[in-house]
Amino acid sequence: MDSNKRPDTMKRITTRELANAFIDEQVKAVKEQVGDKKVLLALSGGVDSSVVAALLIKAIGKQLICVHVNHGLMRKGESEQVIEVFEKGLDANLIYIDATDRFLDKLKGVSEPEKKRKIIGGEFIVVFDEEARKLTDVKFLAQGTIYPDILESDGVKAHHNVGGLPEEMQFELVEPVKLLYKDEVREVGRALGLPDEMVDRQPFPGPGLGVRCLGAITRDRLHALREADAILREEFEICGLSKKVWQYFVAVPDFKSVGVKDGKRYEGWPAIIRAVNTTDAMSATIEEIPYAVLHKITDRITKEVDGINRVCLDLTPKPIGTIEWE
C-alpha cells in the first residue's frame, strides 16, 4: 500500500472525537516508529509544524527536539508565542536560534525577489544543519507535511527540506499529519490544546515579511512593516474580519513620498493593505473592508509607525495580481 495515499475509507476529521481517535492512533504509531531515539523538528510556529510538535510531545516528550529559527522576518510576537506555547506551556525541548543578523546581513542590498527567496531558504538550511550537527543520536526528522503538499508536489516542504541537508545527515522521516487536510490539522491541533491564535492562523509565506518588505530589505523599513502589520491584525481582530478574511497583510515598498507632520516636511514609505479571500490561493477576490475600519487603521498606522506617511489599499484580484507582492 502506498503510505502517501489517503485511503478511501479514511473519515474526514470533523469532530473532537475523531481528532482524539486520530491522536491516539498516531501517538502509538510514532512510539513504535522511533522507539527511544531522538527526533528533530523545525518548528516555525505555523499551523502544521505546531500541530506536529504538540502531537510528538504527547507521544515521546523530551525525545523531540524542536528547533525554532527566527530569521528576523517573522510577524510581530510570533517567535515569542512559539516560546510561550511550547517551552513554557508544553515543556518542550526547544532550541531557539535568533539568526536575524545572519539573514539580514545576507539579504543586504538584494532587491530581486527570487534571489531573496533563495537566500532565505538556503540560509535556513545552513542554520538548521549547524544545530543538527551539534546533536547526537538523532535518527529522525519530523515534518509538518500535509496531504495537499503531497498532492501538489513531492511532499517535502521547501523550507524543511531534508534533501537540502548534507548526505551524512540523512534522517528517517516522521510525518504524522501527512494524510490530513488543513481543516483536519486544525481540528487535531485544537484537540491537542493548542491556542486558537495558533491553530486558526492565516497562511504565512516561508520567507515571511521578506517578500512584503519590497526590494532590498532595510532594518528600519522592516521594523515599520512589522509594526504596521501588527496594527492591521489587531484592528481586524477587533472588528471581526480576522475570522472572515483568508489572508491579510501589509506590504511596504522601497520608495518614499512627501508628507507633512507637526508642521514639517515628513518623507515616508506607504503601507499597502491587502486583504484577500480564496479557497486554493490560485485565484483570489478582494475583501470589502468597511471605510470606518480603514480610517481607523490609517489613523493608527500613520500616527504610531515611524517612517510611514501614507496608507494605501490594494484592490487587485488574482489574477492579475498575485496575493503577495513579490
Which residues in 98-137 contact ligand XMP (CB under 6 A)?
Answer: 117
Helices 47-60 and 182-191: angle between axes, nearest 10 degrees: 40
Q: Are 30 and 176 in contact (CB under 8 A)?
A: yes
Q: Is residue 323 involved in binding ligand XMP (CB under 6 A)?
A: yes
Residue type, 128: F
Q: Which residues pair with 69 in a beta bridge?
A: 97
Torsions phi, psi of 265, nearest 5? -60, 135
Closer CB to ligand XMP, 160 or 221, in the complex: 160
Q: Is residue 45 involved in binding ligand XMP (CB under 6 A)?
A: no
Q: Are 286 and 294 in contact (CB under 8 A)?
A: no
Which residues in 190-229 contact ligand XMP (CB under 6 A)?
Answer: 203, 205-207
Closer CB to ligand XMP, 15 or 322, in the complex: 322
Residue 94 CB contacts under 8 Å (≥ 6 apart), including other chains:
43, 66, 67, 68, 82, 83, 86, 87
Q: SS3 of 231, please?
A: helix
Using CB under 6 A as the criterion, what x/- string covers residues 142-171 for binding ligand XMP?
------------------------------
Which residues in 257-296 contact ligand XMP (CB under 6 A)?
Answer: 281
Stretch that binds ligand XMP, among 219-227, 229-237, 304-312, 318-326 (CB under 6 A): 318-326
The minimum distance between CB 160 and ligand XMP, in angstroms, equals 10
Residue 93 CB contacts under 8 Å (≥ 6 apart), including other chains:
62, 63, 64, 65, 66
Stretch that binds ligand XMP, among 63-71, 166-174, 231-239, 315-323 (CB under 6 A): 315-323
Closer CB to ligand XMP, 144 or 206, in the complex: 206
Residue ranges that bind ligand XMP, judged by CB under 6 A: 117, 203, 205-207, 247, 281, 318, 322-324
